[in-house]
Structure 1
């Protein structure tokens, strides 16, 4: 199993600028991103045995991380600029 941290910017590299912008301008996004960071850190520390966790607790943390990641993704997609079709002619 990989013990690589799943940082938000690494999970969504195409949205790095938007992530930075939303962290500064959207309080809800900022809170969710911070919560993701804390859960992700706990998962990483558990996986690397820095702070050993039982399998059930680690599984719950991974589920919570996935829930937060899904919410972050929905917020990123919601804020993506809509591209207007180019009129031919």
Structure 2
């Protein structure tokens, strides 16, 4: 769905407390989370404006977002063992 919010808290509500704690205590996690959320917001804005960029660029942005999301999710899983 176009313009869908994929923020970490929205996609992983069960890890909301962990996301908050790691964002405060783990500088690397906080930076990657910030980067992820900014990229997600940029993608949503572009989608809602009918993506005024080429398809290849949009595809790369979504790939980058997916890679960041996977990295952050793996960190969340390791924190909750």
Fold agreement, TM-score > 0.5: yes
Aligned residues: 81
| 1:49 maps to 2:49 | yes
Q: Which has the larger radius of gyration?
A: 1
Q: TM-score, normalised by structure 2?
A: 0.92
Moved over 4 A (4+): none
Higher helix share: 2
Can you give the 5+ residue segments of structure 2 that lack an aligned partner in the other structure?
none
Can you give the 5+ residue segments of structure 1 that lack an aligned partner in the other structure?
83-89
- CA offsets, 1:27-65, max 9 Å, x none? 000000011011111111111117622111111000000
Higher relative contact order (CA 8 A, sep 6+): 2
Whole-angstrom CA distance in 2 between matches of 1:31 and 1:39 = 12
